[in-house]
A = this chain, B = another copy of it.
Amino acid sequence: MPAAAVVAAHQLGLTFPTADGDVVALSDVNLTIDKGEFVSFIGPSGCGKTTFLRTIADLERPTSGTLTVNGQTPEQARRSRAYGYVFQAPALYPWRTIEKNVALPLEIMGYGREQQAERIRRTLELVNLTGFEKRYPWQLSGGMQQRASIARALAFDADLLLMDEPFGALDEIVRDHLNSELLKLWDRTQKTICFVTHSIPEAVYLSTKIVVMSPRPGRVTDVIVSDLPRERPLDIRETPEFLAIAARVREGLRAGHSYEEAV
């Protein structure tokens, strides 16, 4: 394993015990993510995408196998503030205004007053929430809340970004915009990004690597390495190379899906 492996999972497994039996959320997951990669996770609802991200973030403890983050244990990585996390739900604190919510990680990590103000301004502008600084979360629409939570994760400089369906509640145009902003950011800063999405075009457009997962038990069924250039104008999405990759992802997704049989 090269020194550059940011995430390395080996035979990773995770089981939740519940009142009516165990749920195998992850089983035998083997995956290496190198520095600077943009990895998308795609798979049916309930297949373990969130669980995998949470395990990387040291929010869940694997029940088998090994996992290292930056060559360390997930806990060490978390303690060194190696990553920023965008949860699937916005998880804004209701007693803080939007700007205070974005300020939260900055306060915790000890940024100075002015730096805080500057970063809040910049990230809120990035997600197009300028003007909503003083609002409370319940005064925002669903998509705006989600954008605020993205701003919160981007406000500080983590080398690894874990994003769980960050753009799920956004319209196509904002989504396109944020997609290209995210790509620019990634290109500029050489961050490593793990990105959960349900949109195949989004996954293909953004990623250097696409991980297809399937449920019950959650496992990785396909890893597709994209050979699209790093420079990606939006209209790359109509090129045959793009469509070919998209087709392969769709294929993998369909194969791992329980639906076709079930319904």
Residues on A lying within 8 angstroms of B by beta carbon are 16, 18-20, 23, 42-46, 49-51, 88-89, 128, 134-135, 139-144, 146-147, 164-165, 168-175, 177, 198-200, 250, 253-254, 257-259, 262-263
Contact = CB atoms under 8 A, between A and B. Distances in A.
Contacts of A175: 198
B263 A177 contact: yes
Residue with the highest number of chain B CB atoms closer than 10 Å, among A45, A142, A146: A45
A140 B89 CA distance: 13
A262 B128 contact: yes
Contacts of A165: 142, 169
A171 B43 contact: yes
A199 B197 CA distance: 14
Given A135-B18, A262-B128, A263-B128, A45 B171 contact: yes
A55 to B, nearest CB: 14
A47 B23 CA distance: 40
Contacts of A44: 143, 171, 173-174
Contact of A134 (B20, B46, B140, B199): B20
A160 to B, nearest CB: 21
